[in-house]
Structure 1
């Protein structure tokens, strides 16, 4: 009873391992809800038993400290058990998105050389040709055929220290090769303590886990609630950007804490009825990209919850600064805030000298949340994780590449990048990796990729120069096919254009500013959505023709075939909203966003639309046409022969 009076953030000691801290909390209250997935509720006691069994199975197969375990599951209870089972076995885990192109995942597995892969049964066949790796499905690591005489489930965490690796997280790499941050128990626990200290949760709270496992914020959605005694509410696989589904979870599952990247927050407010409020939420955290003041005001108008802007690269584990957005009707700038607990920040000029307050400089980050470095990349680790004895005699600093300036109160303002890294809907991308992948396409001699636009309208554009024997007519489609094969959807440019040569500046360097201007101009010239007013005449009798016409308008393409995939044509979550709202207005029917998210080909979506039109028509949410935003013209689609669809996450 005495320990229950100790504030949770004080019990979260960065000198202790995450598995030790979790087990201590589970033993204290085994009856509390830990995971909520649909109608299934898993208590902390049940979760403890499943995790300990998974860890015991792994240890019986030789997995232990110093090893890496790859996790390849849809978002599910089994995914959480796999993550924790790996850590309780003493290993670090690296989670991979099952919707990303399989060649990219297999290349990462070759790079990190896992001792084992824990996968959903439906995905086992994807690893049949991976040599020297143990593949276990959830049925196997949930029992492994041992029956009642299974391996000993040691209730004590394995021997180790807080500096042992706990997580490996892959991000885009500037050289064309993804890089993996190696995150220790100390770094993870330190960041969870910071979150708990500023945004406390307890057994009365629930937090949605919807973020893709390729983005480090998923760590907070899983580990933070479990450490705080709260419950994790699991979003359905593939519906992490479905505003209707997320709103339903918030309302029906009693969610109090919600994290989403800025573009998803904007989509969430756009896609729901403007009169709908979210006062059941206590706290919302956002980040990943610049947060517009106008979006802060719109959120505050619809919820009493606090809104906190978080900032931090994955090399610093989840976040390193935070700023609670004030309820100020005259707010004109959103800051990224001050350092969180156990964090050191320096703003330095090009010579490594601290800049005066108010002056721009590159942000260097230190403290307990720093990653151990990059897996198998000592040169890159030495380049980005530096030692500056005059500033930090006893520690390292991470060169973020971000330009910031400090206000008099210490709060930081984000100003941009010093390199070619960009963020698209919260996902950090290296343009160099996209360019290197485009060069894999036969017939491409040179390639350049630029970003244009801002906020949710930010897009990528690719320019390629053909070789002497390159067929220019089919080259854009071939390049997009190559990019889709190797890269996740978020890294595939919206447009691919063939040039005789790439433009150069007076100094002989690639003129990226000019390319970005060209891309922005082409985007502005693209056709926009048809005004969403008036009835569709006989459209209800021929919904496929109507759907095809709306897709062409929103996506900026000339025609769509019955088997064309909306997301392959350049669709994203914002264009889903544009399509659904246009159809709602023209058909005067309620069409859920999930209909297009789950049935993304023209034929599939049309069939689903017919089923909806044949059923009852509930009250339809309204989205103002003026909010549908700009539309970017997409290059023609090429067919694919591999794997699952890749969609914006």
Structure 2
């Protein structure tokens, strides 16, 4: 194999292994073998060769020692957290070798060379995983770089070659400096990363509240339809504005305003939109309180945020506990019906807080993200410049107000004369119902997390969804399968990959092209009001093409803090070494890399955080809740499968055994529905790997063995039970089904629940009871079908999946 991407005078060096020797490259652990990518020859300056040779001679080492040490330092500096990259160095006519012992990065180069001189000659390279091979010509005049990983490509190989040569130059130029401190990015590349790949500009924000642009649109199109629900009820721009203004004036009279908080605990509907707009119009910070949350979680959030008022409705009123806050029933218009309908004036600017959104934390308690109004306004202005709304367009409001994407759905369309179609409560979980809403109401823009997008594509009709122009997808990684299915199913629409944590909002976006078979789905480029820098553990820039932790910076757009949590805030919001004085950046925990064209790619998480239906989940929070139960001595929560299922492995505190149902009930008292483990599995101990981490594979193996040993195979008793078992088998794609199996135990999740219910309706002409499906056995579901058939209700009139 020869390389010709770099032009140079020296003749290419063959990268083929010697006869009978080990392969130059072996696939990485758990990675797919890919054809190697090679670049070269890359010229090594003659004066650099002389300096390296002189340093080796002074230390009593051979001329190859500097090359081996540099490879080890580069591998250590660019290893992903929790993994080890291996860079092997070859020289023409020399065996593949590696250092006899890992180098100490706190040493300087001279000390490392002296240590190498005292070591025995390293053995030939073993067949362990090799990410990169650096081949140096016999005369040391040039080098080649060859990669073989799941992300092997020519730009990556080029990056390794540049980085290796850069580090060699630094080591030779300043051999007394600790090797960990040598920058891997030179001034030219640093400038390109910070100024070229990040085209940053501080946005202009001219409104003081998130409803300011809406109020301007009201004056332009007062009679246009702003809200439309599934029952056909419509609300014009003028009507929405006036209702919100009257309620806002009432709240102001009750003390709401800048610096105060207003809780909102309501089911999705027109009244909820009015309530949120009213709270924003006062200048107060609104705090969404999901009625589906456990009592303990709601009580904690209310005590933590201390709102002056909590807006609610008759459906959710009983979920709001008593406290120092005033509870206001938004459906009782009497107290504000006669108040002025004009826009209230708000003191202060856009630097105030828009909302506080509670996300999963690692301490056993949720953490509140305090997000500023200016960030929301800047973000929506950027999105409008990319994917514009206009009069006649329609968006779907289906996202929980506790999720940051709800800001898009609630405010963005109504800034530009579009209409907001309100998804009925509960139906946002039903892909079939979402598809009908998009089709029937000619929705032009929708946001769906990938785990919902996949079943949505199974249900939507391209002919009936012809109005759909933009489909935003985010909250978790977009898979190649989702991308490819989307382009086949909805060829006239555009799929946009959106990335950004709650602490910053949407940070990158990209229209995904149709690239069937391409294994990587890129994130896109940073929005104009954000800087995204990829840094190593020392907060130094990593070279383009190399993995680093993503840090998000920007004067406008970052959350102010975690609410009343200065320690958490200091841990995640840190000083920005690449920004102006006083600038901050948010540490995301996401491992990314920049492509040479400035597009970001997501490579995974550095920590344990996961996403379920686009919602953040910290396994540590779940473990903290479970281990607070007196019968649990230890616990490990494992995410498994696609879509993700949560499995809790618990070690009993005593010898009497463990009441699994009691543990699950304990979790339900504190954890939101999407955070509750689908199974609680007793184990004698939590196994660990040689690195001291939880051995996930061992836990899953133990679970599979226990299931095989304990699972009784009870056959169907009649034709109805056999039909229900067959539906389970086909929908869940499993083997033999026992009548005592449960939906969760067979791998079912909320999205598949609707598919199974629809299959029952189509084949058996009855939709079973949802509670029986989610909590009962296959036999219980069959009994639910039997009862529905014999009852007075017409087929299909039993409980729905909302």
TM-score (norm 2): 0.67
2:528 pairs with 341, 365, 371, which one? 341
Query: 2:42 maps to which residue?
Result: none
For the Cα contact (< 8 Å) 1:450–1:460, is it kept in 2? yes
Among 553, 575, 587, the alignment partner of 2:752 is 575
Summarize the Cα distance change of 1:108–1:331 in structure 2 as closer, same or farther, 3 Å threshold: same
Distance 1:94 1:293 in 2: 36
Deviation, 1:442, is: 2.8
Corresponding position of 1:308: 496
Which of 377, 381, 385 matches 1:189? 377
Closer/same/farther in 2, CA of residues 54 and 98 from structure 1, 3 Å limit? same
CA distance in 2, matches of 1:294, 1:363: 25
Alpha-carbon spacing, 1:248–1:379, altered in 2? closer, same or farther (3 Å): same
Q: Is the 8 Å Cα contact of residues 442 and 466 (structure 2) preserved in structure 1? A: no
Deviations 1:137-162 (A, max 9, x none): 1123x332x553x3x44524311111
Any conservation in 1 of the 2:436–2:460 contact (CA below 8 Å)? no
CA contact (8 A) 1:31 1:43 kept: yes
Alignment pair present for 1:262 and 2:450: yes
Deviation of residue 425 (structure 1)? 2.4
TM superposition shift of 1:496: 1.4
| 1:352 correspondence with 2:534 | no
- Partners of 2:682 and 2:263 lie apart in 1 by 39
Is contact 2:648–2:679 with CA below 8 Å preserved after alignment? yes
CA separation in 1, counterparts of 2:553 and 2:717? 63
Do the aligned partners of residues 379 and 466 (structure 1) sit closer, same or farther apart at CA in structure 2, a change above 3 Å counting?
same
C-alpha deviations, 1:43-66, integer Å up to 9, x for none? 000000110011011011111110
Matches within 5 A, 1:56-205: 56-127=249-320, 129-140=321-332, 142-144=333-335, 148=338, 150=339, 152-205=340-393
Give the C-alpha shift of residue 211 in structure 1. 1.3
Give the 3 Å change call, closer, same or farther, for CA 244–411 of structure 1 in structure 2: same
Task: Check whether the contact 1:36–1:42 (CA below 8 A) recurs between aligned residues.
Answer: yes
Farther off after superposition, 496-505 or 172-181: 496-505
Name the CA distance, whole Å, in 2 between partners of 1:291 and 1:57. Answer: 44
Whole-angstrom distance in 1 between the partners of 2:727 and 2:262: 45
Distance 1:276 1:584 in 2: 25
Tell me the secondary structure at the aligned position of residue 334 of structure 2. Answer: coil
Distance 2:204 2:287 in 1: 24
Alignment of 1:493-512 (within 5 A): 493-506=677-690, 508-512=692-696
Is 1:459 the counterpart of 2:459? The answer is no
Out of 131-140 and 349-358, give the one that drifted further.
131-140
Per-residue CA deviations over 1:79-117 (Å, capped at 9, x if unaligned) read: 111111111111010112212222211111111111110
The alpha-carbon deviation at position 500 of structure 1 amounts to: 1.6
Distance 1:31 1:583, change over 3 A: same
Higher Cα radius of gyration: 2
Give structure 1 stretches of 5+ with no counterpart: 1-11, 531-535, 618-644
Q: Counterpart of 1:419?
A: 607
Q: TM-score, normalised by structure 1?
A: 0.82
Q: Would you say the 8 A contact 2:311–2:328 is kept in 1?
A: yes
With over 3 angstroms needed to count, the CA separation of the structure-2 counterparts of 1:97 and 1:248, relative to structure 1, is same
Q: 1:407 matched to which residue of 2?
A: 595
Q: How many residue pairs were aligned?
A: 583
- Whole-angstrom CA distance in 2 between matches of 1:613 and 1:492: 34
2:675 counterpart of 1:488: no
- Residue 477 of structure 1, CA deviation: 1.7
Q: Relative contact order (alpha carbons < 8 A, sep ≥ 6): 1 or 2 greater?
A: 1
Counterparts of residues 308-387 of structure 1 (less than 5 Å): 308-317=496-505, 319-367=506-554, 368-387=556-575
Which whole-Å deviations, capped at 9, do the CAs of 1:230-264 have from their partners, x for residues lacking one? Answer: 11100010010212211221121121111100010
Structure 1 CA distance, aligned partners of 2:480 and 2:663?
Answer: 38
CA distance in 2, matches of 1:407, 1:202: 34
Q: 1:27 to 1:552 in 2, by over 3 A?
A: same
Q: Is the 8 A contact 1:599 1:608 kept in 2?
A: no
Q: What's the secondary structure of 1:118's corresponding residue?
A: strand
* Mapped contact 2:228–2:421 kept (Cα < 8 A): yes
CA distance in 2, matches of 1:523, 1:305: 44
**Aligned position for 2:394:** 206
Q: Which residue of 2 aligns with 1:625?
A: none
User: Corresponding residue for 1:298?
Assistant: 485
Two-structure CA RMSD over aligned residues (Å): 3.4
